[in-house]
Amino acid sequence: MTKSELISRLAERFPQLLAKDAELVVKIILDAMAKSLARGERIEIRGFGSFDLNYRPSRVGRNPKSGEKVHVPEKYVPHFKAGKKMRELIDSSHKQHGLFDQATG
């Protein structure tokens, strides 16, 4: 599913929402999430999961083309952890599928 498909799904489910507003909804939510992480603030969405920042210490890397050593500064990278409900739903729908696949050979 892409961003535009997500926008269409929301527009379908909320007929009172103008098409351009469905687009705006997605933009506002994603912008707020990105800004929150950029500020170093975590995100907690019940039933979905949480986004945090993980620390990466500085290291000496290599330019894969030239083999030259380069200093990579310390940084933070975004990290997602699925919530309990998400984990359970993802795994159980897969298991049902797996049994079905086996049954049909």
The contact set with another protein (CB under 8 A) reads: 1-3, 6, 9-10, 13-14, 16-17, 21, 24-26, 28-30, 32-51, 53, 73, 75-80, 82, 86-87, 89-91, 93-94, 97
CA distances from 34 to 14, 16, 30, 40, 102 (A): 25, 27, 6, 10, 41
**Smaller CB separation from another protein, 39 or 69:** 39
Closer by beta carbon to another protein, 54 or else 67: 54
Whose Cβ is closer to another protein: residue 55's or residue 105's? 55
Tokens of 59: 């290291």
How far apart are the C-alpha atoms of 62 and 74, rounded to whole Å? 15
How far is 62 from 100, CA to CA, in rounded Å? 47
Q: How far is the CB of 64 from another protein (least distance, A)?
A: 17
CB of 59 to another protein, least distance (A): 14
